[in-house]
Structures are given as C-alpha cells and as structure tokens.
Amino acid sequence: MTTETLDLNLVRGSFPILASGYIFADNAGGSQCLATAAKRVADYLLNTNVQLGADYSVSVTSTQRVADGVEAARQLFNAKSVDEVSLGSSSTMLAENLARALEADVLDGEEIIVTGEHEANGGPWKKLAARKGITVKVWHATQIASSPNNPYAVSLQLETLLPLLTSKTRLVAFTGCSNILGTITPVKAYTTAIRARAAELGVRKLEVSIDCVAYAPHRRIDVQDWDVDYCFFSVYKVYGPHIGALYTRLASLQSSLQPLTHHFLPVKDKSYKLQPGGPGYELVYGVTAVPDYLRSLSTSSSLEDAWAKIAAHEQTLVAPLLAYLKSKESRGVRIVGEETGGPSRAPTISFIVGGERPIRSKDVVRAFDQKGNIGIRYGHFYAYTLVDTLSPKIDIDDAVVRISLVHYNTAEEVQTIIAILEEVLA
C-alpha cells in the first residue's frame, strides 16, 4: 500500500464545480462529475452519435467507444471479462433486471435473504419472492458490542446472518457499504462463511449479490477476489455520468439467468442478455473517464494504489467529524452506525439529536441551508427498513442527518461543518 498522499490540487482541479467554493457534503446521493467524463459524453453526442455495428467509419468509431466504456466498467469491477458486465440507467433498474432474469431458476420453497438497507438491493428480491410465493428473510443490522451505550451503533454482523441460512437458501443479497451506517462490510470474509455454511447444509444452489453503490466511491471493488456472483454500483456516485453497472459471473450467466433481450440474439454467455435495449451510449463512453482519472492519482498508474490513497485521505475527513459528534453524547447526539473511524468506516456519517433537548433532523439541515454554500441532507435515503427498525424508534419521515464526504472534500471543509454544528448544538 502506498504511503504517498493524494494531490488535492490535481483532485479538485478535475471537478470544475469545486472552484465555486461550495461544500458538497451529500456525496452519497451522487458525486460531482469529472470534467473529462462530461467532455466525453458531449464528444460522443456531437461527433459519433450513430447506431452501433455498421461498417461505415463513424459507426466503427462509435462501436469502439461503447466497447471501451464496458471495458472501463470491467476494470472498476475487476471482472474477468467484459461479457460479465452490463450497463443501464440505474442500479435500481439493473437489480430489477437481475431479479427478473433469475426468476425461472428459483424453485418453489426456496428462500432469499436481504438486508434492510437501500431498497434497490431489497425491493427486486422481495417482488421476486412475492411472484414465486417464496420466503424472504431480512438480515438486520444489530448493535455493535464496542458501543453498548448507543443503541443506534449497529452494523451487519455475521453471527446474525448464519442462523438465517437453511438448506433452502437460494440467494443472499447484502451491501458492501451502508448508505446510512457508513460501515464497510468485509465482503470476502462474509461470502466465504456463507458458502461454507451452505455446503454444510447441502444447499442446491446459493448465489451472492452485493450492492456496491455506497461502497464504490470509497474502496476498490474486486469481484474475483470476493468470489461473488452478482455486484452492481452507480457510476454517477463514482465521479462519472448517470448510469449504473452490473457484474454477473459467467457461470451464473450460463446456468442461472434467462435472457431479457430479443429471442434471436446470441446472448447465452453474455451479460447483454440483461439489457432489454441498449443503454445511453454517450454515457457508456463517459465511463471511460473514471478509471483514467483514478490512475492519474497514482504515480504507478495503479488502481489499487489510487484507492489506497483515497481511503487514507478519507480517514483524515471522517476521524475529526466522528470525534466531534461523539463528544456531544451528553447533548443527545447519537451516531447511527460505527462511532469510530478506521478501515471499516467510510466518511458517510448519520446521526440524530435526541435527549432532553431534541432537534429534528430537518431543522439541523435547515441551519446548514441558511448558511448557504454547503449541502447536507436528512431523511431515510431509501434505506427505509433499516431506519424503521432502529430502536428506540425514530420518526421515519425525519429520520437522520447525513453528512457524506468523498476524497475531493478537504480537512478545511470538515472544520466548517463542525463549526456550524457547534452553533446548532449549543
């Protein structure tokens, strides 16, 4: 792992809007877009906007550009082949397509396990279960032992998952990182344990699907090392255009998934079978800017090195903010998720203000809005089930305050956020 630090001049210069001085602290809802990505989208539309697959020169160029976009997504997944990668308008849509394609290979009486976090990772499987008349179990986040005094310090823990597995389990779908809790799940370790338990139980076929939407802006995805069957993320939350990407393991393409495409297309071994119509080709080409940018952050042009630098910088952002919020426990502040920084913590920080002098989450956010030139947000952020099952109960409509940072944020911006919180919590 590199010991070098990020070149923040290079980083911030890659996002023109940051020159405005506005503090973007709602990045889990969508990051800012690279100038290079926007330029490639425009260049495609203005210079190569024709149908793919023809023999004339502009179509040949257009076809290659789209192929390059799929290859860029392959690199971001570290998939073996571009045939395992598909793209579409959003992660939610891609997960729904995946569930539809899997439906015929889910048998009567089988079971699906989901988490209570972002509904994109749960809703498609719940609807599949309703169509098939099968059971859905929810793997709930539970209290972290090291935080006995904070009932909202919860995370996904393996010991609460394993008892949910039975000989009928067909799929386990969980998050690589929670968009509320900010906890980075040890995907490889959990997947290994899930597969070992499934083998003991004699499961017919068990597959693992990972929602990496809140993970992808912060850490390197590695579907091969993780040994997962499905994985998806949103490129627009990883500094690119508004498009989603889905990984499907070759073995699953061949034996688990039915095509959603036209019947005459030869798609048995290709993830194109999950694309009932082409994605926005200009957006696919825009994806090429993301791995190029990440490599520019490393002197060795290494994606692994770039993500290590990003993770290290993000810890300089998350640590002081968590420490400040933790110091306000007596004021009624409760962090929702892990209370400390470290390798398992992304800089997505949620909290509530309760106690004897509670403050509604929307009123905390209103104070930031009144300051101007800074953006944070409150709500359940589509993690409805997670927020609704927190105990003691909180108002689902008011939910939590969320401050979500990424590597282009600075230590100075964090201090500005803390200064505003000091006024709000006085």
Q: What is the token pair recorded at 377?
A: 């947000």
Of 179, 226, 184, 403, whose CA–CA distance to 310 is shortest?
A: 184
User: CATH assignment of 47-292?
Assistant: 3.40.640.10
> Is the model's pTM score more than 0.95?
yes
What confidence score (pLDDT) does residue 3 get?
53
Q: What is the token pair recorded at 248?
A: 């499907």
Distances (CA, A) of 132 to 103, 109, 129, 139: 8, 9, 5, 20
Of 242, 309, 302, 245, whose CA–CA distance to 37 is shortest?
A: 242
Of 222, 271, 252, whose CA–CA distance to 78 is shortest?
A: 222
Report which secondary-structure segment, H or E, holds 98.
helix 91-102
Q: What is the token pair recorded at 38?
A: 């926007």
Please state the domain extents for the chain: 8-32+299-424, 47-292
What confidence score (pLDDT) does residue 4 get?
74
Report d(CA 25, CA 377) in Å as an integer: 8
Q: What is the token pair recorded at 197?
A: 């338990």
What confidence score (pLDDT) does residue 2 get?
46
Pick out the chain residues at pLDDT < 70.
1-3
- Residue 401 — φ and ψ, nearest 5°? -85, 135
CATH class given for the domain over 8-32+299-424: alpha beta
